[in-house]
A and B are shown apart, each in its own frame.
Chain A
C-alpha cells in the first residue's frame, strides 16, 4: 500500500526506557511487548490502549550486566502521558519483577538511542562474564560472618542471593573491603543522567 502523505501520518514520540531485573531473570522483546500491552489494556482499557499504540521498537537486555537493559518504546505524540502511565504499571515480565524508568522522550529513534539509552555493556564497571557471581562476606548480628553469593551490577549495585531470593544492595552495604572484590567504580553511581 502506498505510504500516507506526510501530514496524514501519525506523529510518534519515543520513550527511552531503562529496565532492571533480578540477575537470574531472562526477558526478551516479545515478553516485554506482551507485558506492555497487558499493562496498557489493564490501565487504559482497549480504546486507550489502541490510542497509545505502545510498541517496542528497540530492545536490548544482556545477562552479562547482571540484569540491566534498555528499550525504546513508541507512543502516539498526543498520548505521551497515558503511555507513560501504562509503562509505569508494567510490574513483571514473564513473571519476573522488573524496574522501569523512562529516561527521556525524543522525536526520533536515533535521537532517543543517543540521548537516553546507556549501554551498560560498555561500562568499565560492568561485571565480566554472564551473571558473574562472587561470594561476599557479610557480618552477621552476632559478630560472625557468613558467605553469600552476590552479583555485581553497574554503578556499585550488588544483588545478594539469600534464602528468600535476591536482596538489592550496594557496595555501601557490604563493608569497606568490598570495592576490590567487585572491581566496581563506586564514583560512577553519583553521576546519574537525570541531572
Chain B
C-alpha cells in the first residue's frame, strides 16, 4: 500500500486533518472523508474552459478541480470569462488556482517558481527530463512534480528520496493508461510501475490525476480507482492520491492566510 508519510509537515498534522478541503464547502460535515480533486488543463491550452471542467467534475463526484495552467496562459482570452469565485458559487465545487511550470532547464524553472509562489495556491513543475525531475524534487517550494516519466523523464532513488525529504508530491498520471493503447500504453504502464515501487520504497508523497485536457477526458473517481486496481495500484492508494490535491490546497491556503506565521503559530485576528 502506498501511504503518505511527510515528516516536513508533521507540525501541521492537526491543521491538515480538520481543514482538509472543507474551507470552501460549508455543507460538508467534518466527519465526511475529504473530497476528491482532479487536476485539469483548462482553455486555452486545453479544449474546455475552467467552468466546463468544474461542471463536469461536480457531476462525476469530485469536490474540487485544480486548474493547472501554463505560465503563458494568464492573458485574458475570449472564452474564459468566469473566474474561480463565480464557478464555485454556480457549481458548488472548490476551484484551486494552480500553475504548472514547463521549463526546459532548472535555471528558468527556478525563477518561475519564485515568481508564481505567492500568487498561486499550488505550484507544480512538469518533469519529463532527469534534470527537471531532480530540480523539482529538491525544491521545498514546489508542491507537485507532474508527469515525471513523460518523454525522456526518469526517476531514481536519489530523486525519490529528495522528493520525500522536501515534501514534493509526485504525480501518477493515469492519462496514458486511459487514453493510449498498444506499445505506448505498455511503456506508460512500466513507467508507472517503476514510479510506484520507488514511491513505496521511500514513502514519497504522491498525487493521482488523469491529465485531462478536455472535459471529455475526465473520468470519475471510482472509475480511476478501478483502472488503478487493474494496473497494480490499490484502490485506497488512488483515492488517497486524488484527495491529496485537496489537502495540499488546504494546507497552502492556510499558509497564505494573513494570520499564519509558521506551522503551529498564528496571529490572533
**A interface residue numbers (CB < 8 A to B):** 20-22, 38, 42-44, 81-82, 84-85, 87-89, 91, 97-102, 138-141, 146, 155-157, 160, 162, 164-170, 172-175, 186, 189-190, 192-194
List B residues at the A interface (Cβ < 8 Å): 43, 47-49, 51-53, 55-56, 58-61, 75-82, 86-87, 90-92, 177-179, 181-182, 185, 214-220, 222-224, 226-227, 229-230
Q: In the bound complex, do residue A88 and residue B52 qualify as a contact, i.e. CB atoms below 8 Å apart?
A: no
**Max chain B C-beta neighbours (<10 A), residue from A21, A156, A167:** A167
Closest partner residue, chain B, to A164 (CB atom): B47
Interface of A is mostly: mixed
Measured CA separation A190–B78 after assembly (Å):
25
B82 with A173: CB separation less than 8 A: yes
C-alpha gap A169/B229 in the complex (Å): 32
Number of A-B contacts (CB under 8 A): 134
Cβ of A169 and Cβ of B79 under 8 Å apart?
yes
- CA gap between A52 and B178 in the complex, in Å: 18
User: How far apart sit A98 and B82, CA to CA, in the bound complex (Å)?
Assistant: 25
- Indicate if the CB atoms of B227 and A169 lie closer than 8 Å: no
Q: For residue A164, which residues in chain B have a CB less than 8 angstroms away from its CB?
A: 47
* A174 and B48 contact, Cβ closer than 8 Å, known pairs A85-B223, A101-B59, A190-B91: no
Q: Which residues of chain A are near B224, meaning CB under 8 Å?
A: 88
Knowing A97-B217, A138-B78, the reply to whether A102 touches B222 (Cβ < 8 A) is: yes
Across the interface, B60 reaches (CB within 8 A) one of A101, A141, A162, A165, namely A101
Chain A residue contacts of B230, Cβ below 8 A: 43-44, 81-82, 85
7 nearest A-B pairs in the assembled complex, by CB-CB distance? A168-B48, A99-B216, A88-B223, A172-B82, A85-B226, A84-B226, A168-B52
Residue on B nearest A145 in the bound complex, by CB? B78
A residues within 8 A CB of B181?
A: 38, 42
* Measured CA separation A166–B216 after assembly (Å): 12
Given contacts A38-B181, A189-B55, A190-B58, 9 further A-B contacts (CB under 8 A): A85-B226, A88-B219, A89-B178, A102-B223, A140-B78, A155-B55, A162-B79, A167-B48, A168-B48
Contacts of A98 in B (CB 8 A): 216
Q: Quick one: which of A101, A141, A156 contacts B76, CB cutoff 8 A?
A: A141
Q: Are B219 and A172 in contact (CB under 8 A)?
A: no
- Cβ of B48: which chain A residues have Cβ within 8 Å of it? 167-169
